[in-house]
Chains A and B, each alone.
Chain A
Amino acid sequence: MSTNAETLCLRYQTHARVRTLFLASAIILLIVATTIGLCCGASGMSFWEIVSSLHRDMGRGHSIIWMLRLPRIVMAALVGFGLGLAGVVFQAILRNPLASPFTLGVGSGAGFGAVSVILFWGGGFQTYRVACGAFLFSLVSATVIIAVAKMKRASSETMILTGIALMFLFSSLTSLFQYMGTMEQVHEIVFWFFGSLSKAGWNEIGLAAAMILVPFPILLRRAWDFNLLASGDESALALGVNVNRLRMWAVAAASLVTAGCICFTGVIGFVGLVAPHITRMVIGNDHRFLLPASALVGAVILVTADTLGRTLWAPQVIPIGIVTSFIGVPFFFYLLMKRSREYW
């Protein structure tokens, strides 16, 4: 082997080690964040009480852990995972660092769907009805993006512009509906837009997990296609990737994941944009690693944010959207300053 080839091989091996190490660290961090989250709460249970409550029915403590804390933490991890994943997919297929479920109008569509249900579909604001509305309209957004892109031959610019237009449309409609709502409805709408994990329960987690985790292996299998897409549509086409079809179903899959994330928790906008960037800065653009790593980083961010949100000002809860911005933005800036070369 020539020296150049040896150097390249060595560099690849080092890079592979960094990526594997990053993945392993993300998993460990998620476990640590989950454990800390599980230990924090208003009822002041000791660590050993929590451990014994996990496997033995000890009445009140058992209920607190299994019915209140764990569902919340699991939902945070799931939603963070999904948003991190959807963010990478949207950025990959549109080759745009600003793409995310929310800048593409999918989040606004989901928000509009939830608000419509709150306003027009009976009292009580049942979680499942709101979730159905959010899911339906996130799919409406995705369908419109796909339809417009199909008519205009699926260019990434068209998709982004369509997404931005949809975002403004749904935001305006949501604002209009806020004017029409009663005091109670307006309260519900406003706090739905802050994002909240307080309604997380095992039933909700089951449905959200199906929507978030089922598309994950399918997307991971197409990681090489996403890698090829990064070098441009022509190159990917030349290497046998059906770019249009890839875009269509990737948008649909990422929309499904987004809907699964926000239909039970409201709008948590920051993670889907930043988790992929943080991951990309550290491990690069290989989607075989980027997809799971970004999802894990999203999960860590959201579990940490939730724990901070409910403990920093306890017993009051700081809306999770605010906390994600507070912890994510400084870290994001730090990475931006630290890494001088272009990472995208």
Chain B
Amino acid sequence: MSNTTNITKPMAGRFSPNLPCDTNLSTHGISARTFWIGWLAVALFLNFWTASAFGASVTIEDARGRKVRLSLPIKTVVALNSDILEILRTLKAEDCVAGVFSEVVREREFWGDLAQRPKVGSWREPNMEAIAALKPDLVIAYSRNPGQLLENKMALFGIQVLRLDFYKVDTLEREVRVMGQLLNREKEAVRFCDWYRRHLGVFREKIARTLRRPAVYIESYTDYHAAGPGSGGDEMCVLAGGSNIAAGLSIPYPRVTPEWVLSRNPEVIIKAAAYGNGYVLRDPAPFNKCRDAILKRPAWHHISAVASGNVHVMDSAIWTGPRAIIGIAHMVRWIHPDLFPDLNPEALHKEYLEAFQGIAYHGVFVSDNIQGGGR
């Protein structure tokens, strides 16, 4: 971020030492010292006046790689999805949240007071009028959803839009720093990024030293939809030291045949699931049921992962997004059980929720391990 962010004050006054040589200041009874002090005062005044009248601005590279110029300060924000809202809470910027996406009410226990904030409609198709009525300084949305119409409509009301994803492991840190800078929460952003980088670094370092990359089939929410190249699941699998069998396909979420999965014979199967909200679950039964259904798929008993019981189901809360690191920790444990004997993803999750979200840890986020399968 530091390379791309460029804070400028375009209307600031300018101090120029190049005055005309023939100006005889003393003839008007003003000493050279007084003149220079006067100019300095005028320049400082102009500087502060223009900064407050026109506002400072900052140029940000958004998730689409576009340079976006935003006026500062940013005091109120509308968060259009859960990843953004989670990062705002990480930065202790709850007070800035003027409006939230409507689906937030499904996870009242997780979001606490934030679930009470004014709703602006679905994350994919927000209500522009509701956003305009809140008059926020900034609307933050994913790079792809909602579409360009958001910028077009918000421009009519002078509302700025910034697109940041917060669900990609590679860009998360950069985007958190951007938000920290925009909201004057740089200290909080650095704290989170340090924590994140430290844990990710441990995985990266150990996995880089191992040559074995077990074949993994990662299935998205819908049955037989693999996590292909460019998907969050693929990114997590690579970071967890697995070899995604769908990595060579051409789209992020291809529908594949069960026969193809069988022919690739993965050693580990991991499926994403969203049974309501893992944070409020007390029982892993829904995840276990989903896992058992995978184990019973026709002819899949010939797959190594199924035969050894190395089949796991993971909640959407830790599947990509700011908490992807927790999901990666679980994956690491399933893919390389011997490499990290002491790794405890639940402890990591607890640390994150308590330190960065300010909420107590509870819930169920993965299926139970089968005796002898995985760990």
Which residues of A does B touch, CB under 8 Å?
A: 41-44, 59-60, 63-64, 67-69, 71, 123-124, 179, 182-185, 187-188, 191, 196, 198-199, 201, 310, 314-317, 319
Q: List 11 A-B contacts (CB under 8 A).
A: A41-B259, A42-B257, A60-B299, A64-B262, A124-B289, A182-B276, A183-B316, A184-B275, A310-B257, A314-B257, A319-B255
Chain B positions within 8 Å of A314 at CB level: 257, 260
Instruction: Check if B224 is an interface residue, CB within 8 A of chain A.
Output: yes
Do residues B302 and A63 form an inter-chain contact, with CB atoms below 8 A? yes
Specify which chain B residues have a CB less than 8 angstroms from the CB of A182 in the assembled complex.
106, 274, 276
Q: Which residues of B contact A43 (CB under 8 A)?
A: 259-260, 262-263
Of the listed residues B222, B251, B258, B316, the one surrounded by the most CB atoms of chain A closer than 10 A to its CB is: B222
Docked-complex contact B250 and A316, CB < 8 angstroms? yes
> Whose C-beta in chain A lies nearest to the C-beta of B298?
A67
Name the residue on A nearest B275 (C-beta).
A123
Asked whether B249 is an interface residue with its Cβ less than 8 Å from the other chain, the reply is yes
Bound Cα distance from A315 to B286, whole angstroms: 29
Q: When each residue 259-271 of chain B gets 1 if its CB lies under 8 Å from chain A and 0 otherwise, what string results?
A: 1101100000000
Contact B298 A68 (CB under 8 A): yes
Further 8 A-B residue pairs, CB within 8 A, beyond A68-B259, A315-B249? A42-B260, A60-B262, A64-B259, A64-B299, A68-B258, A123-B289, A187-B225, A314-B260
| Across the A-B interface, the 10 shortest Cβ-Cβ residue pairs | A42-B260, A315-B260, A67-B298, A63-B299, A184-B221, A184-B274, A316-B254, A67-B299, A43-B263, A187-B222
B286 touches A198 (CB 8 A): no
Query: Which A residues are CB-close (under 8 A) to B106?
Result: 182
Bound Cα distance from A59 to B257, whole angstroms: 19
**For B125, what are the chain A residues with a Cβ–Cβ distance below 8 Å?**
179
Contact: A183 with B221, CB < 8 Å? yes
Q: CA of A177 to CA of B250 in the docked complex: distance in angstroms?
A: 31
B256 within 8 A of A: yes
Interchain CB contact under 8 A, B259 and A42? yes
Interface string of B65-101 (1 = CB under 8 A from A): 0000000000000000000000000000000000000
Interface 0/1 of B274-300, CB less than 8 Å to A: 111000000000100110010000110
Q: Tell me which residues across on chain B come within 8 A of A42, comparing CB atoms.
A: 257, 259-260, 262-263
**Chain A residues with CB below 8 A from B262, complex form:** 42-43, 60, 64, 68
| Whole-angstrom CA separation of A278 from B223 in the bound complex | 34
Choice from A179, A198, A310 contacting B122 with Cβ under 8 Å: A179
Q: How far is the CB of A305 from chain B (nearest CB, A)?
A: 15
The CA-CA distance from A185 to B273 in the complex, in Å, is 10
Contact B273 A184 (CB under 8 A): yes
Cβ of B285 to closest chain A Cβ, rounded Å = 9
Residues of chain A within 8 A (CB-CB) of B274 are 182-185
List, in ascending order, chain A residues with CB within 8 A of B250's CB.
Answer: 316
Chain A residue nearest to B222 (CB atoms) is: A187
Rounded to whole Å, the gap between the CB of A166 and the closest CB of chain B is: 26
Interface residues of B in 94-149 (CB under 8 A from A): 106, 122, 125
Give the distance in Å from the alpha carbon of A201 to the alpha carbon of B106 in the complex. Answer: 35
A315 to B261, CA, bound (A): 9
Report the separation of the CA atoms of residues A199 and B222 in the bound assembly, to the nearest whole angstrom.
Answer: 12
In Å, the complex CA distance between A59 and B302 comes to 8
Chain A residues with CB below 8 A from B260, complex form: 42-43, 314-315
Of residues 185 to 239 in B, which have CB atoms within 8 Å of A's CB atoms? 220-225
**Given the interface contacts A69-B259, A124-B289, does A184 sit within 8 Å of B223 by beta carbon?**
no
A315 touches B257 (CB 8 A): yes
Residue on A nearest B102 in the bound complex, by CB: A179
Find chain A residues with CB under 8 A from B276 CB.
Answer: 123, 182
Alpha-carbon distance A191/B256, docked complex (angstroms): 13
By the criterion CB–CB under 8 Å, are B290 and A63 in contact? no
Chain A neighbourhood of B263, CB < 8 A = 42-44
| Residue pair B249, A316 in contact (C-beta under 8 Å) | yes
A42 to B255, alpha carbons, bound, how many Å?
A: 13
In the complex, A135→B139 CA distance in Å? 44
Chain B residues near A59: list those with CB within 8 A: 302
Q: A123-B286, A124-B290 are in contact. Are A317 and B257 (CB under 8 A)?
A: yes
- Residues on A with C-beta less than 8 A from B256 are 315-317
Provide the residues of chain B in CB contact with A179, threshold 8 Å: 122, 125
Residues of chain B with a CB closer than 8 A to A185's CB: 274
Residues of A within 8 Å of B224, CB to CB, are: 198, 317
Q: Given A42-B263, A316-B255, are A68 and B275 also a contact pair (CB < 8 Å)?
A: no
Chain A: CB-nearest residue to B123: A183
When the two chains form the complex, which single residue of B249, B255, B298 contacts A71, counting CB atoms closer than 8 Å? Answer: B298
B299/A191 in contact, CB under 8 A: no
A184 touches B316 (CB 8 A): yes
Alpha-carbon distance between A198 and B213 when the two chains are bound, in angstroms:
29
Of residues 294 through 329 on chain B, the ones whose CB sits less than 8 Å from some CB of chain A are 298-299, 301-302, 316
B299–A124 contact, CB under 8 A? no
A234, B256: Cα distance in complex, Å: 54
Please report the C-alpha to C-alpha distance between residue A123 and residue B263 in the assembled complex, in whole angstroms: 29
Residues in chain A near residue B293, CB distance under 8 A: 124
- Would A68 and B290 be within 8 Å (CB), given that A41-B257, A188-B221, A315-B256 are in contact? no
**Chain A residues within 8 Å of B223, by CB:** 198-199
Return the chain B residue nearest A69 by Cβ. Answer: B259
Closest to B302 in A: A60
- Among A60, A184, A316, max chain B CB count under 10 A is at A316
Q: How far is the CA of A317 from the CA of B125 in the complex (A)?
A: 29
Least CB separation from B290: chain A residue: A124
Tell me the smallest distance from the CB of B228 to a CB of chain A, in Å.
8
Q: Are the C-beta atoms of A123 and B290 separated by less than 8 Å?
A: yes
Of chain B, the residue at the smallest CB distance from A190 is B222
Assembly CA distance A310 to B254 (angstroms): 12
The listed residue (B122, B299, B301, B316) touching A68 by CB distance below 8 A is B299
